[in-house]
Chains A and B, each alone.
Chain A
Amino acid sequence: MQTEPIISLRDLTMEFPGKRVLDGISLDVFRGQIIGYIGPNGAGKSTTLKILLGLLQDYKGTVEIFGNDLRNEDQDVKRRIGYVPENAEIYDTLTPMEYLTFVGELYGMQRTVVEHKARQLMTELGLEDVLHTRISSFSKGMKQKVLIISSLLHDPDILFLDEPLSGLDANSVMVVKDILAMLAASGKTIFYSSHIMDVVEKISNRIVLLYNGKIAADGSFDELKGQGEAGSLEMLFNQLTGFNEHQQTARRFVELVTGGEVDG
């Protein structure tokens, strides 16, 4: 059905001093896919994203994007990628307008074009009245929206998102979800990591579960469901990561809080 992979990882291994974070990952991602990249804390999700973006270089194995090996740093490849980092890291002493024009210009856009586009996108996400307010005074959700806009300004073909929905309110989450679905439908590839299973379950058309530096599961939600008897992604997640004592943990915790036995 699909031809050339957009992103291709072969035996990707990454070690930090004293710890092997990624242990031989191989993965092909195709056009129009929304990959939900999940896994417990510290499983190596962000590390994978950082390698794909060229933020981390001393990995082993090969990484190809649009058929180009990442090691020959191709600026044309970067031009076709958008990124939203986790924790809303941003030069927040600037105003959104200043930051967005800077980013747009780095991607080779005309200043007037960026300004116009940034203003329109900000307005659509309800931020028109803070265009010239310092980002440092924003809530997490507002910052996240600015970052989402900054990642899309130059109309990239691949979008890497690290916890893109954190801090957003329910309505904004719905808007962003629909944006992602429509972008994918128009041929963009979206690769995002998240902890929020309900969202991953609903919007990804392919789920990759990372556990102990290896891919523990890969497939659409329905396919994955077929493998086990889990009814939700959350349960599947527990099952695949070998964590089945959430109830016991909870019970012990509450007993410590109340200082007595708990029913249920």
Chain B
Amino acid sequence: MDNFRSLRVMDVFKGLFQTFGIDYPSMRTIVGLKLTMDERRIPVVFSQTKLKEGNQFLKSLGLYVLYGLATIPFLYFGDSVMLQMGIVFGIAMFMIMTSLIADFSSVLLDVRDRILLAAVPVDDRTLNAAKLVHISIYMTLIAISLLGIPSIVILISKGISFFLLFLVMMIFLMLLIIALTAITYMVMLRVFDGERLKDMINYVQILLSVGVFVGYQVLVRSFEFVGLTISYEFSWWHFLIPPLWFAAPFEWLLGGNTSKPLIVLSIVALIIPIIAIWMYIRKMPLFERDLQKLMSEARGGKQQHPVMMKFWEWVLCKNSEERASFRFSWQLMKRERDFKLKVYPSLGIGFVAPFLFLYIFLSDGTWEDMITSNTYFMIYFGFLIIGPLAVMLSYSSRFKGAWIYAVAPITSVSRVNRAALKASLAQLFLPVYLLQAVIFTVLFGWRIVPDLVVVLFSAILYAVICYAIGAKGTFPFSLPMGESVQSGTAKQIILMLLIGVFVGVHILMSKIPYGTPIYLVVIVVGCLVGWNALLPVKRKTAHM
């Protein structure tokens, strides 16, 4: 437990902690223990890949190094230091803040502290300091990985004064991030109850995953239009963008621009973080008290009347066993955070991808070219949703509850599986697809409607194939969530290649006269055959 380098670095500041009345040895023990526990946690950035041993967080730092490299070109965009640094601080702030929320919510919102440590003779001040130190250690590590290389580049190409100013600004930025995150949580804790709060955190985690994908694409594109010379012009709303506060001193001190607003922005960059962190420290006891909410037993709650669920249940399910499973799956998918964390990012990607690639096409050709072309086949990128969805359907963080399937007199395993697959498509794929289809029809005109119908049936066929490959006869939600990580990647690649087959055949058929209507018939028959062959409704036992 003593082998942590960060702890030895912390020892340097021993005296400082003690002057604040903190019981240093206790704090060191607590932080050491937490670091040990962290070695057994998996960060969100890595949730899609497989990894087992060691401190997953430290390994994820490599990824931050990559993101850091991506910031370097921005250091040389245009002529305005303000814009350059604004973008760099913006990226840093987004990355650090989202990872703080995604991976360290559990640290900030740790209630076990309260239960386990409150009985031990350690005062609150020491406990809170331990928490703050723990978070700071990781923030520092993230910041160093993210901006280590860029700061060396700065040192070499922009000189020592630029470099020092950069370091100082980074420290203030980090103070602001810690305080801002904590204050955000304080407000959320006041407003929401425990379950709601966990949902909110879940959405931030999902946003992070989608943000990384989309951000990356956009970042790559943006090289094209930021070649030009932009000089900085102040507008009042710049006060609302924190990264610009931190960029202001560069423009003022190094760029020699002494306009009033810039000086004010620079002062804001110093004062706000200090006020924020001071508020955080002062309000900490209050925060800790509100944390109790996370453990509270909520009473009440209203009965929900999900209209969509009832509609699709009525449309898609005939048998009562199937209906029961349909509702059950629908409700579980709506609630289970781990499921959302694994599936929703691909939902976002699947929605954005077709438009992103159309956009890329547009940057090479004209609007006229695009709407008369067959680029509407891009809508197949929406299938990216189905693979992870169908595979994840077998997993649950509460998989132990699956005994109910074995105990209950279920007449057909396939019926339960069908219901789950139908529910997942109706709840998550269909809304995205319908929205995409409407937008595509607006863009490309009525001519593509028959093809869109083909795509829909292809999706239904594709889904059952994915499910047959992914689920292997088990009941839905009956395998431990952790295992999903281990079996995923290879399968996902096969499933993605399969999308290519669908696209290829469809494009070929669309070239033949009357090809599309013929293919529509083929694919509808394919759906019927596929569903009945892969999920046949007859008595059969599942492997538990």
Q: Which A residues contact B (CB, under 8 angstroms)?
A: 53-55, 73, 75-79, 81, 83, 85, 87, 89-95, 97-98, 101-103, 105-108, 111, 129-134, 136-139, 142
A78 x B409 contact (CB < 8 A)? yes
Residue B335 lies at the interface, judged by CB distance under 8 Å to chain A: yes
> How many Å from the CB of B97 to the closest CB on chain A?
28
Of B194, B303, B398, the residue contacting A91 (CB under 8 A) is: B398
Chain B positions within 8 Å of A102 at CB level? 324-325, 327-328
Chain A positions within 8 Å of B401 at CB level? 89-92
> How many Å from the CB of A71 to the closest CB on chain B?
11
A103 x B409 contact (CB < 8 A)? no
Residue of B nearest to A82 (CB): B407
Chain B positions within 8 Å of A134 at CB level? 195, 298, 301, 335
Q: Which B residues contact A (CB, under 8 angstroms)?
A: 194-195, 296-304, 320-321, 323-325, 327-328, 331-332, 335-336, 396, 398, 400-401, 403-404, 406-411, 477, 541, 544
Of B297, B407, B411, the residue contacting A55 (CB under 8 A) is: B407
Select the residue from B194, B301, B325, B408 with max chain A CB neighbours within 10 A.
Answer: B408
Inter-chain CA distance A10–B471, complex, in Å, is 36
Chain B positions within 8 Å of A89 at CB level? 398, 400-401, 403
B298 x A93 contact (CB < 8 A)? no
Chain A positions within 8 Å of B302 at CB level? 132
> How many Å from the CB of B325 to the closest CB on chain A?
8
Inter-chain CA distance A87–B398, complex, in Å, is 12
Q: Assess A83 versus B403: contact at CB under 8 Å? Given A91-B477, A137-B297.
A: yes
Residue of A nearest to B410 (CB): A106
Q: Assess A105 versus B303: contact at CB under 8 Å? Given A54-B407, A73-B541, A90-B401.
A: no
Chain B positions within 8 Å of A111 at CB level? 320, 323-324
Of A54, A87, A101, the residue contacting B406 (CB under 8 A) is: A54
Inter-chain CA distance A132–B406, complex, in Å, is 26
Residue of B nearest to A139 (CB): B297
Of A78, A94, A137, the residue contacting B332 (CB under 8 A) is: A94
A90 x B297 contact (CB < 8 A)? no
Chain B positions within 8 Å of A94 at CB level? 328, 331-332, 335
> How many Å from the CB of A171 to the closest CB on chain B?
18
A75 x B332 contact (CB < 8 A)? no
Inter-chain CA distance A92–B401, complex, in Å, is 8
Inter-chain CA distance A129–B300, complex, in Å, is 5
B301 x A105 contact (CB < 8 A)? no
Residue of B nearest to A83 (CB): B407
A103 x B404 contact (CB < 8 A)? yes
B331 x A98 contact (CB < 8 A)? yes
Chain A positions within 8 Å of B477 at CB level? 91
Select the residue from A89, A93, A94, A133 with max chain B CB neighbours within 10 A.
Answer: A93
Chain B positions within 8 Å of A85 at CB level? 403
Of B301, B409, B544, the residue contacting A76 (CB under 8 A) is: B409
Inter-chain CA distance A158–B410, complex, in Å, is 18
